[in-house]
Structure 1
């Protein structure tokens, strides 16, 4: 029977760029190239041009911005999940941002909040959430981690102490930062005190390597029996030596750095979930540093926010052994198709299947 109404065309599927050419997979490719492989948009534009595809950097930047806005609810949910954890790591790094009208960049901050309970057999998936802010004020982590009430493992930045006092949070400090205070002295061979401190810290780390992967309670008991006596002796050694040297010397500053944070430095003995250092979150800072080195700066404060949103999802994918390109393409498509807000947890990286090779790499990191 002949059609009476002519040819009927089904509506095209919804896309991130309505009426535009890019598929969700292409947008995901641009995001992964920029935030996982650290290839700036101008280089991507050049790569496309070599293949006969003319895509201006501004066009790619528009795609990135649209994707970041679309993915913002997933980022917010990721951060909310981290706020509900019993223990987190925190750190921050600079984020150069263009400052229109001044002819130069200004210095924003990317704050990183990470969770990795695998060293003690915890069941919560590893994750990291970055949040962009215009400055490094203590009010930033207070706002980012509102409602968090666990243990926060950090470096020596004083702003975290303000946060801890207001939030009632316990701070665990980082032995890697303490160790760095003494490394230069020992390398020059001019300080037997520094060499002795490093040897004693190394003994603590040897214990940690032996109990890695054990349950929190097993780790706690081992630390009480083996690490506690070493720490008591180390504190006595530091305070005795501090009394014998010039209080204005750099070595005295290094010793005071440790002794003034002693409660937080020894908290790991009481709680098997706590690590000796904050290297977990420092590893999460490295991709930001690579992106900063290659891209030089974000184009605006909004660009810094986009950076935080997409990098959070990419790095959390990597921590969980999930392929970021397939993940981002699928999440973008599902949000565009109208997935309900009640199913937002289905879009978190650990809800996706892992790739065996990536999983092994994530654990090794």
Structure 2
């Protein structure tokens, strides 16, 4: 073992002074490192055991301009007594939300021999009635539907002609020719996995309890077949329509695939998500790719020009003719995490993390006030209300950057905002743009929830099918459709099309189409 070389001992007063300053500098450096590690430890503990909400408590961060925050000149002076009236709920209100359900009436009458008065033996008559309502659950039922097509010929031609015309009765084309899978069972299995996040192996066990022996491999084959044969043409139509828009959102998440050629099972694959903004038809599309290369969004979005909401990932920088819009939720989250990592006693003090969070909160408060105004009015109001906040925030960032440890959580939050500044302020260019990319994060969440249940995809083919199915069901949900009813409708209608690439026919079947039957739509809440 080698012995560490020891520093020579100071001999003179000046050497002692230099040695003391060096020790002090090293102690300060170590203190900063300890504080940084404590921050990371506290944040990890909070993420594991604490609340996931990023809302700022009402009793925090009001120390900045507290008088301006609390003051409301329009508020009337309080009176001695305040009288409030609370409307009493009645039974009819409770039942109104279920009035779209069918009603089965069961009547209970006295038998004829019991309709006798106990006092005088006279005949009783129906004076009135009382009723009660119950919500009834009907368990799933399975049955075999055997389609029989009758074939016809002409007796006269059979006897007298050389050839006999044969006519076969028409029947709807099946969703799975030569197989048992109907439109309803395909829609059910897809809905269970991609909407309810129920893995195929659990569906296999569920079917077994109904007396049906269908292996998970069979179910997986059905999913891949239905996706490739019927849903992919609709997916490509939706993609072509999406690329015509000028505002999109994007995000990506890991999507493990076990049997990826040339790659180890533990290597990360990705599901990329692209969706339209709130001013266009709701289209949500997913694409499976084995890597996180920026080439994937460049190829998928080829032909698109306009604004793209995204986080700070550099993979989107390769896009041409695209203005990237940063996410203020990401910027805010970093200050929120930095504040939560501080000791509780320091979270209400005027610390850098709190000041940065306050700026972000003020920008979001402006957006909440402008939620229901027109894009033109929103753009104008942002110039008047958000622009001064952004100017003050940038100046504060530049000053605070030199005062905090770069690798601390607060330092990382400040660096993020400075590095992303051009993208963070891009939302000021158009009133249709959003201040954050939460729309994309909400669309990627079902995949994350599903992934926790079924863990991985087995093959790239299965991963591609999953991306296609997620695209259809999430677009359906965004359009206010019932995903199961919509999938069933598609598997009934698509097999009847002479040409699956008929753009007019696909337009009628798209999730946002007004020609879809009401049975596909979710009943509006009362």
Using the size of structure 1 for normalisation, the TM-score is 0.90
Distance 2:521 2:374 in 1: 24
Residue 299 in 1 paired to residue 458 in 2? yes
Q: Is the 8 A contact 1:186 1:195 kept in 2?
A: yes
Counterpart of 1:107 in 2: which secondary structure? coil
Residue 250 of structure 1: how far off its partner (Å): 3.7
- Asked which structure has the greater RCO (Cα within 8 Å, sep 6+), the reply is 1
Residue 99 in 1 paired to residue 259 in 2? yes
Q: How far does the alpha carbon of each residue in 1:72-99 deviate from its partner, in whole angstroms, 9 at most, with x for none? A: 0111111221111110000000100012
1:256-275 correspondence runs (5 A): 256-275=415-434
Equivalent residue number for residue 319 of structure 1: 478
Equivalent residue number for residue 113 of structure 1: 274
Q: How far does the alpha carbon of each residue in 1:233-288 deviate from its partner, in whole angstroms, 9 at most, with x for none? A: 01101111112233444422221110111111111122111111100000001110
Residue 349 in 1 paired to residue 505 in 2? no
Equivalent residue number for residue 309 of structure 2: 153
Distance 1:216 1:58 in 2: 50
Equivalent residue number for residue 195 of structure 1: 354
**Which shows bigger deviation, 181-190 or 237-246?**
181-190
Residue 8 of structure 1: how far off its partner (Å): 7.9
Residue 3 of structure 1: how far off its partner (Å): 7.6
Q: How far does the alpha carbon of each residue in 1:149-174 deviate from its partner, in whole angstroms, 9 at most, with x for none? A: 010010010111122xxx12100000
**Which shows bigger deviation, 236-245 or 248-257?**
248-257
Q: Is the 8 A contact 1:112 1:130 kept in 2?
A: yes
> Structure 1: any 5+ residue segments left out of the alignment?
none
Q: Is the 8 A contact 1:24 1:333 kept in 2?
A: yes
Residue 312 of structure 1: how far off its partner (Å): 0.5
Q: Is the 8 A contact 1:318 1:358 kept in 2?
A: no
Q: Is the 8 A contact 2:248 2:308 kept in 1?
A: yes
Equivalent residue number for residue 393 of structure 2: 234
Match of 1:64 among 223, 230, 243: 223
Match of 2:207 among 45, 48, 71: 48
Structure with a larger share of its residues in helix: 1
Equivalent residue number for residue 89 of structure 1: 249
CA-atom RMSD, angstroms? 2.3
Equivalent residue number for residue 328 of structure 1: 487
Distance 1:47 1:9 in 2: 39
Q: Is the 8 A contact 2:175 2:492 kept in 1?
A: yes
Q: Is the 8 A contact 2:199 2:453 kept in 1?
A: yes
Distance 2:239 2:168 in 1: 43
Equivalent residue number for residue 284 of structure 1: 443
The structure-2 alpha-carbon separation of the partners of 1:250 and 1:290, relative to structure 1 and needing over 3 Å to count, comes to: closer
Equivalent residue number for residue 144 of structure 1: 300
The structure-2 alpha-carbon separation of the partners of 1:54 and 1:11, relative to structure 1 and needing over 3 Å to count, comes to: farther
Q: Is the 8 A contact 2:223 2:465 kept in 1?
A: yes
Q: Is the 8 A contact 1:111 1:131 kept in 2?
A: yes
Q: Is the 8 A contact 2:308 2:322 kept in 1?
A: yes
Counterpart of 2:435 in 1: which secondary structure? coil
Residue 104 of structure 1: how far off its partner (Å): 3.4
The structure-2 alpha-carbon separation of the partners of 1:219 and 1:339, relative to structure 1 and needing over 3 Å to count, comes to: farther
Q: Is the 8 A contact 1:224 1:270 kept in 2?
A: no
Distance 1:285 1:87 in 2: 18
Residue 309 in 1 paired to residue 468 in 2? yes
Counterpart of 2:456 in 1: which secondary structure? coil
The structure-2 alpha-carbon separation of the partners of 1:182 and 1:83, relative to structure 1 and needing over 3 Å to count, comes to: same
Q: Is the 8 A contact 1:40 1:295 kept in 2?
A: yes
Q: How far does the alpha carbon of each residue in 1:186-209 deviate from its partner, in whole angstroms, 9 at most, with x for none? A: 122557111011112111111111
Q: Is the 8 A contact 2:481 2:522 kept in 1?
A: no
Query: Larger Cα Rg: Structure 1 or Structure 2?
Result: 2
> Structure 2: any 5+ residue segments left out of the alignment?
1-152, 159-165
The structure-2 alpha-carbon separation of the partners of 1:46 and 1:182, relative to structure 1 and needing over 3 Å to count, comes to: same
